[in-house]
A and B are shown apart, each in its own frame.
Chain A
């Protein structure tokens, strides 16, 4: 199936994952980017409050979640690679591992959120935690949507793998990697910078 499809990625209209997905990615990055710039501007106005608030975050949770997402992204890339080779069983294995990585991320994020809520560090606590909750929750929504997309791909891969189009599969994979990209901006700026 997949080896018969030759996509000219060098064509400006056919980036890997599809042009529509890349337009979505740029819009998402700009949206998160603007919020992060405003966060940095607020931090400039109140540097001590931002620093003290940042120290209330658990850097280890953030770093472990980064490792979960990067490992999940690695599995996704392998899954696409094996699908292109027509090896459905390995593609399915790596896709399931990708989804597992997403669930591990959400589980640790839930623990982190529980810890914060328990001590009263909610969205209204101060400006820093306002940004923290808005940006990380918005990212969590993306991760959940990504898991749903991957679960649908996994269903097709399990039941009718021959009907799965590599372009569609790669679009779903690209969305999942976008969750990595957004987190790679959020983690250093929110957890480490201020």
Chain B
């Protein structure tokens, strides 16, 4: 049993529950918090489950840059 995967899974589940809770609240920064949590979950799956952390820096930077750009654009429009 790989404990890094277990910890990653636990964090992802907690972040999912937090996202669902925040979505039912009504305040100014809900959107940015939901998208920020989405960013963290996406990175968690890619870097730990998919082992992208072991890959060349090119693939890591490309994924983070794409995700950052996409979520920023979605939030900004």
Contact = CB atoms under 8 A, between A and B. Distances in A.
Contact of A188 (B19, B46, B55, B59): B19
B50 A74 contact: no
Contacts of A67: 13, 16
Contacts of A63: 16-17, 19-20
B77 A41 contact: yes
Given A59-B20, A59-B23, A177 B49 contact: yes
Contacts of B54: 9-10, 16
Given A12-B56, A33-B66, A37-B70, A191 B1 contact: no
B12 to A, nearest CB: 5
A23 to B, nearest CB: 10
Given A78-B2, A78-B5, A191 B23 contact: yes
B55 A15 contact: yes
A62 B34 CA distance: 14
Interface string A63-77: 100110011011011
Contacts of B1: 78
Interface in A148-194: 173-174, 177, 180-181, 184-185, 187-189, 191-193
Contacts of B45: 70, 73, 177, 180-181, 184
Interface of A: 9-12, 15-17, 22, 26, 29-30, 33, 36-37, 40-41, 44, 59-60, 62-63, 66-67, 70-71, 73-74, 76-78, 81, 173-174, 177, 180-181, 184-185, 187-189, 191-193
25 contacts: A16-B51, A16-B52, A17-B50, A26-B63, A37-B74, A40-B73, A63-B19, A67-B13, A73-B45, A74-B49, A77-B2, A77-B48, A77-B50, A78-B1, A173-B50, A174-B50, A177-B46, A181-B45, A184-B38, A185-B42, A188-B19, A189-B74, A192-B19, A192-B34, A193-B34
Q: Which 6 A-B pairs have the closest CB atoms?
A: A192-B23, A74-B9, A15-B55, A16-B51, A9-B54, A188-B38
